[in-house]
Chain A
Amino acid sequence: GQQLNQSPQSMFIQEGEDVSMNCTSSSIFNTWLWYKQDPGEGPVLLIALYKAGELTSNGRLTAQFGITRKDSFLNISASIPSDVGIYFCAGQLGGSQGNLIFGKGTKLSVKP
């Protein structure tokens, strides 16, 4: 099946540091989404990207849809303790009914 390679798998950072994570695939996606998941809860949408090259911000979060449509990155600036959680990228293939393919997640830990 389709695969999204998400990296890094985990990150341990100091409060105030910037964070960067990315997803790559051999397939072309027409939508890239970034979700955050807290333990025992459902994924919460952070940023949605619909066009190749699109750069979108949501507060301290910035994400980009790669020009090749095969990758995306998420940056978090000036991290705070509540940024702790697992971040998932998800892509939607063209022609699909919208089912999302998820990356394996990046577990973020922030030290105060």
Chain B
Amino acid sequence: EPEVTQTPSHQVTQMGQEVILRCVPISNHLYFYWYRQILGQKVEFLVSFYNNEISEKSEIFDDQFSVERPDGSNFTLKIRSTKLEDSAMYFCASKQGTTETQYFGPGTRLLVL
């Protein structure tokens, strides 16, 4: 069964460093999302992406964040200058069409020291 994959599974970085989290959505899906989950808390929406542009973003998704679909398969989330409070699990999700449901990847656990 097709699934969303994410790399790396874990990333440790120093405060102020840039990180890029990678996702490969399900191949025929058109809508892509990033969510984050701080340890012990609920999953929070960051950004949605469709037709090569951001379609919606939350307050969390400030100027330090950016997303890109550099080729036909990858979908990346970049944090330009990480802060301690960026430590969280980051989940990528994708769906095929407007009425479809989202499927989540296994997540990248980011730890900022």
Contact = CB atoms under 8 A, between A and B. Distances in A.
Contacts of A40: 107, 109
A98 B31 contact: yes
Nearest to B99: A50
A28 interface: no
Contacts of B103: 45
What is the interface of chain A mostly: helix, strand, loop, or mixed? loop
Given A88-B43, A104-B42, A99 B106 contact: no
Interface residues on B, range: 20 to 34
Interface residues on A, range: 20 to 34
Interface of B: 4, 31, 33, 35, 41-45, 48, 50, 55-56, 58-59, 91, 95, 98-99, 101-107, 109
Closest 10 CB pairs of A and B: A42-B104, A97-B55, A99-B45, A102-B43, A97-B56, A48-B101, A97-B48, A104-B42, A102-B42, A42-B106
